[in-house]
Amino acid sequence: MTGRIHAIQTLGTVDGPGLRTVIFLQGCPLSCFYCHNPKSWDFSKGTLMDVEEIIAKILKLKDYYGSEGGVTLSGGEPTAQAEFATELFKRFNEHGIHTALDTAGPILNAAVKELLNYTDLVILDIKSANPSEFHHITGGELSHTQAFLNECITRGKKLWIRQVIIEGLNDDLAHMDALAKFVHGIPRELIGRVELLGSVQNLIVLQNQFRIISNNKSSICSDM
């Protein structure tokens, strides 16, 4: 089976635990106005690669992953190529390699449910906890992300929750309050980490505010 790859990054340290290879799949159904990589949107672009070709690459790197690391599928939006992603994750599982899915959760269908069967960690990027703002940012619907999240919760999936903080958009306490309420709907034991990502000046203040509002015991970190 082949899939469309946007890029492969080795020695990644931010998209999941430990040292990881991050495979960015081509194509995204959303169109976030702050997207750092719009070249990853078009489903007809990217490089066609075979599952076996990727497995061979990953197995050469397996020793570097140690006990914590592994492979993260990111994008674009990896659930948009769910069958291909499932074949990769199945094979990684067979080789004892940890699998993480970095997603905005816009799709929940039978193929995505199958993909979750082989996913060790879901890194869920909550673009906004407010439905109209979510639509404004992404062109998509928060209800789709919520449905994906509900499926993860039902299955007891480990989650890292992310939100990108943009100056003048959501870098205020009202947005931290909304995010905290959203996160509050997730069983605490499933949340490994909440990450507020961005380069806004008051990120530390926002992180502290989020921690206070949500009484969050999980780690909060930034990617500056």
Q: Kindly list the residues in this chain that would bind ligand SF4 in the complex (CB under 6 A).
A: 28, 30-32, 35, 37, 40, 75-77, 104, 138
State the maximum Cα–Cα separation within the chain, in Å, rounded to a whole number.
48
Nearer to ligand SF4, 32 or 121 (CB): 32
Instruction: Say which residues have a Cβ less than 8 Å from residue 223's Cβ, sequence separation at least 6.
Output: 14, 195, 197, 198
Q: How far is the CB of 222 from ligand SF4 (least distance, A)?
A: 17
Q: How far is the CB of 26 from ligand SF4 (least distance, A)?
A: 10
Yes or no: say if 197 and 163 are a contact pair by the CB < 8 Å rule: yes
Nearer to ligand SF4, 124 or 176 (CB): 124
Nearer to ligand SF4, 25 or 176 (CB): 25
Q: How far is the CB of 143 from ligand SF4 (least distance, A)?
A: 16
Residue 137 corresponds to which amino acid?
Answer: I
* Angstrom distances, CA of residue 124 to CA of 51, 64, 202: 24, 25, 23
Yes or no: say if 5 and 46 are a contact pair by the CB < 8 Å rule: yes
Q: What does the alpha-carbon distance between residue 109 and residue 67 come to, in Å, rounded to a whole number? A: 32
Nearer to ligand SF4, 97 or 196 (CB): 196
Q: How far is the CB of 31 from ligand SF4 (least distance, A)?
A: 5
